[in-house]
């Protein structure tokens, strides 16, 4: 005799209870606060804000706490929350020239107005585990410097004056919005940049790396990488002018890339662009390289069939929330489908066997 198993509801409740307990971890250890995550795991918070497409360090920190440090899960929480928020309007484009730069480096000029500012970078740390941190994480006060200038000119603007860098035509007044309309191909550059900035850091990094290794190599130099806070302004129709509604920290990367020139245009440099929420320079540089690779058509280059040139491939596979959901769904029950395959393969084998026997 067989009695059908039921218990989905109970199983889910129990799983959630266990998950909550595991999230808390051993109770002899002090609970982690959201503020601690926001302050001390700031780069994780930045990644969650960038790929979650929502600038809110406290919510990102909360999501990291809730997700037990699984950043893709945290990004998912932020995205799902973000879609429920009402939309009051669009901001003015941020002016990164007005960025208060915490970090600003150029690989193309030894020095330029505004100077090179290393900022809080891992770059020249020796990657030696600091065992002292295990016992004591307090840090001495870092040396202070004068406040950065109110405006720091872009390195690219100096190339622009000589017409050495390809001119970027202005986009439409209101760009397409990846989160409001279904993706349609070919995609505008605005849509491509949106997909890249919220795309999975690992995926974008891998794509960018592939261009460096020869799959649509485009000779990128980092003309400028800058990180800092920029004001966000919004036009208030009732007032008739734009007002500051806050500030966001951004990482901006502009690459200068070689361009052969064409029959109609003298040789010029071209650019790739990366702009990402928070201090996220690996992502911003990767984004600039992939942006540049995707521009082959508008710049009159050959499609060499490299993955990073394939807009459809890159845009459809960059989003880790889409990817992880679909990847993980194969652990859901599929026994109805599997059963239909079982019947078919048994039938095909029966027929094949019968044919074989008849032949013998």
Interface residue list for other proteins (CB under 8 A):
1-4, 6-9, 11-12, 76, 79-80, 82-84, 86, 179-186, 312, 316, 321-322, 324-329, 332-337, 339-344, 347-348, 351-352
CB of 80 to other proteins, least distance (A): 4
Nearest approach, Cβ of residue 14 and other proteins (Å): 11
Of the two residues 130 and 312, which places its CB atom closer to other proteins in the complex? 312
The CA distance from 193 to 326, in Å, is: 23
Please list, residue by residue across 217-233, b when 16 or more beta carbons sit within 10 angstroms of its beta carbon and e when fewer do.
bbebebbbbbbbebbbb
Cβ proximity of 244 and 94 under 8 Å: no
Structure tokens belonging to residue 148: 């950065």
Token duo for residue 31: 């609970």
User: Smallest distance from the beta carbon of 205 to other proteins, in angstroms?
Assistant: 22
Alpha carbon dihedral 228, 51, 184, 329, in 10-degree steps, equals: 170
Q: Which residues contact 164 (CB under 8 A, 6 or more apart)?
A: 268, 269
Closest to other proteins by CB, 151 vs 312, is 312
Q: How far is the CB of 166 from other proteins (least distance, A)?
A: 27
Q: How far is CA 260 from the centre of its chain?
A: 30
Residue 204 structure tokens: 């974008």
Matching residue, tokens 């995609």: 187
- We find the least distance from the C-beta atom of residue 274 to other proteins, in angstroms, to be 23
Chain centre distance of CA 120: 21
Least distance CB 82 / other proteins (angstroms): 7
Shortest approach of other proteins to residue 344 CB, angstroms?
4
Strand 241-257 vs strand 100-105: parallel, antiparallel, or unpaired?
unpaired
Pick the closer one to other proteins by CB: 98 or 297.
Answer: 297
Pairing verdict, β 241-257 and 220-236: antiparallel
243 or 352, CB closer to other proteins? 352
The three-class DSSP label of residue 101 is strand
Closer by beta carbon to other proteins, 128 or else 185 = 185
Closer of 180 and 213 to other proteins (Cβ): 180
Q: How far is the CB of 137 from other proteins (least distance, A)?
A: 35
DSSP state, residue 165:
B
The answer to whether the CB of 285 falls within 8 A of the CB of 225 is yes
Cβ-based nearer residue to other proteins, 305 or 333: 333
CA distances from 295 to 29, 53, 116, 202, 206 (A): 51, 23, 29, 21, 18
* Rounded Cα gap, residues 153 and 156, in angstroms: 8
How far apart are CB 178 and other proteins at their closest, in Å? 9
Name the residue nearer to other proteins (CB basis): 11 or 242: 11
Structural tokens at position 233: 């302004």
| Eight-class DSSP state of 149 | P
Give the shortest CB-347-to-other proteins separation in angstroms: 7
Task: Tell me the sheet residues that pair with 233.
Answer: 244
Query: 253 or 321: whose CB is closer to other proteins?
Result: 321
* 265 versus 343: smaller Cβ distance to other proteins: 343
């Amino acid at each position: 005799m067989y009695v059908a198993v039921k218990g989905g509801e109970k199983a889910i409740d129990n799983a959630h209870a266990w998950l909550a307990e595991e999230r808390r971890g051993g109770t002899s250890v002090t609970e982690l606060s959201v503020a601690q995550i926001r302050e001390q795991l700031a780069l994780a918070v930045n990644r969650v804000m960038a790929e979650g497409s929502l600038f809110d360090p406290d919510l990102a920190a909360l999501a990291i706490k809730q997700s037990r440090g699984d950043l893709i899960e945290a990004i998912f929480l932020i995205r799902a929350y973000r879609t429920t928020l009402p939309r009051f309007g669009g901001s003015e484009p941020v002016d990164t020239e007005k960025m208060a730069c915490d970090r600003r480096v150029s690989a193309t000029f030894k020095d330029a107005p505004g100077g090179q500012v290393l900022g809080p970078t891992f770059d020249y740390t020796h990657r030696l585990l600091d065992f002292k941190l295990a016992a004591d994480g307090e840090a001495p006060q870092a040396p202070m410097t004068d406040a950065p200038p109110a405006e720091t000119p872009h390195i690219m603007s100096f190339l622009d004056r000589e017409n050495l860098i390809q001119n970027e035509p202005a986009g439409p007044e209101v760009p397409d919005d990846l989160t409001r309309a279904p993706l349609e191909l070919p995609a505008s550059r605005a849509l491509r940049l949106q997909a890249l900035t919220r795309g999975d850091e690992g995926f974008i990094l891998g794509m960018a790396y592939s261009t460096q290794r020869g799959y649509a190599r485009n000779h990128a130099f980092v003309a400028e990488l800058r990180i800092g806070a920029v004001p966000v302004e919004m036009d208030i129709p009732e007032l008739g002018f734009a007002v500051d509604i806050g500030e966001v920290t951004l990482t901006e990367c502009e690459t200068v890339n070689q361009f052969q020139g064409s029959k109609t245009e003298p040789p010029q440099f071209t650019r790739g662009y990366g702009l990402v929420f928070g201090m996220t320079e690996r992502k911003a540089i990767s984004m600039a390289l992939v942006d540049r690779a995707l521009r082959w058509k508008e710049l009159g280059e050959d499609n060499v069939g490299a993955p990073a040139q394939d807009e459809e491939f890159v845009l459809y596979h960059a989003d880790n929330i889409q990817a992880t959901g679909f990847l993980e769904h194969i652990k859901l029950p599929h026994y109805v489908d599997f059963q239909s395959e079982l019947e078919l393969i048994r039938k095909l084998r029966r027929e094949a066997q019968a044919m074989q026997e008849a032949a013998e």
